[in-house]
Amino acid sequence: MNFSGGLSLMAHILINTCYKIARTLSVNVRSVFIVFFVLAFSVFGASYALKTFWQKDNNVEMVMNAIRTCEPVSPSFGSVAGRVILRLDDVQAFAYRDATRSLLADADTYDARLVLGVIPKGILEDEFIQGLIHDHLCNVELAIHGWDHSYGNDGSFEFEHADEDAAREIIKKGKEVFAQLNSTDPVTFIPPGNEVSDGAKKALELEGIRYLSAERADGEFGMDATTYDFPNKKMVEVPDILHACEKKLGENKACIIVLHPQDYLTGDVIDPEKYAKYIELLATLRDKSLLTVTFRDQQ
């Protein structure tokens, strides 16, 4: 039997049933039809309402993210001895979750602000990382850290050889993702591997990016110190970090210290010995009245 055949059989059964009910109850057949349709619409309406409620329930995490609030930190120094930018690179989807959560929470504890170098690709699919960003949004600046931090066939970094048009497209995609994170328009770009082509620099300018923080960036936003010594594969001691900052601080400029969540891991878990150096850094900055600021604050 085809669809229309089935439908006409159903209608036939329905009409017959209504007539039988009307005869049995000795009532007008029209009343039976009305009661039947009212019941049918009620069942349909109730099932639709339940379905909608169920979908909302499944989106609780998304709703919770939207209503989370951020407590602003309030450093209380007598007088500020200098300014430091803590640039936390490689904040990304489905990676380094525990380390990223701890780094952000302890920054709050020490009244420090961070610049998060966020890899946009996939971040909207990771509700955990999105929740962290929402929780700390009032204390951090979100900087675009490439698109997916991938490498070219020749091992080059994403923006190392990108021409202006390609770079502009990628930056636009990153900005769209940031808009969905409720971030204000990003003004800072951190090229993966700190490598950026001249074409990409032009694209950044056209897309309203005011601060380019890279190793050999022109101007004052190149990195000054790191918390991990990559060539020698070891943590940098806090006094050495501060020593690397002396020149910038002496010029009354913000010293840029680069960190990564993975600096503090051994295997996939937080290494307490390494992590203690982060706490030491935060405590030292506070004790020396060095104020943590963001790139956006620099205007």
- Count of positions on this chain that bind Zn ion (CB under 5 A): 3
CB of 102 to Zn ion, least distance (A): 19
Largest Cα–Cα distance of the chain, in whole Å?
100
**Considering beta carbons, is residue 92 or 294 the nearer one to Zn ion?**
92
Q: How far is CA 89 from CA 133, 148, 252, in A?
A: 14, 13, 24
Verify binding: residue 263, Zn ion, rule CB under 5 A: no
Q: Encoding tokens for residue 277?
A: 């150096």
Measured distance CA(207)–CA(88) in Å, rounded: 22
Q: CB count, 10 Å around CB of 49?
A: 10
- Name the residue type at position 61: E
Cβ atoms 128, 100 nearer than 8 A: no
Q: CB count, 10 Å around CB of 2?
A: 6
Residue 275's nearest CA partner among 238, 244, 231, 240 is 238
**Considering beta carbons, is residue 89 or 135 the nearer one to Zn ion?**
89
CB of 77 to Zn ion, least distance (A): 31
Per CB under 5 A, which region of 53-61, 101-109, 189-197, 274-282 contacts Zn ion?
189-197
Given the structure tokens 């966020």, which residue do they identify? 118
CB of 264 to Zn ion, least distance (A): 15
Per CB under 5 A, which region of 60-68, 94-102, 105-113, 187-195 contacts Zn ion?
187-195
CB of 282 to Zn ion, least distance (A): 21
| Per-residue contact string for residues 80-99; x = within reach of Zn ion by CB under 5 A | ---------xx---------
Per CB under 5 A, which region of 2-10, 185-193, 237-245, 283-291 contacts Zn ion?
185-193
Residue 214's nearest CA partner among 297, 146, 291 is 146
**Considering beta carbons, is residue 65 or 227 the nearer one to Zn ion?**
227
**Considering beta carbons, is residue 143 or 290 the nearer one to Zn ion?**
143
Q: How far is CA 254 from CA 8, 87, 137, 141, 155, in A?
A: 79, 12, 21, 15, 32
CB of 149 to Zn ion, least distance (A): 6
**Considering beta carbons, is residue 145 or 286 the nearer one to Zn ion?**
145
Which residues contact Zn ion (rule: CB under 5 A)?
89-90, 192
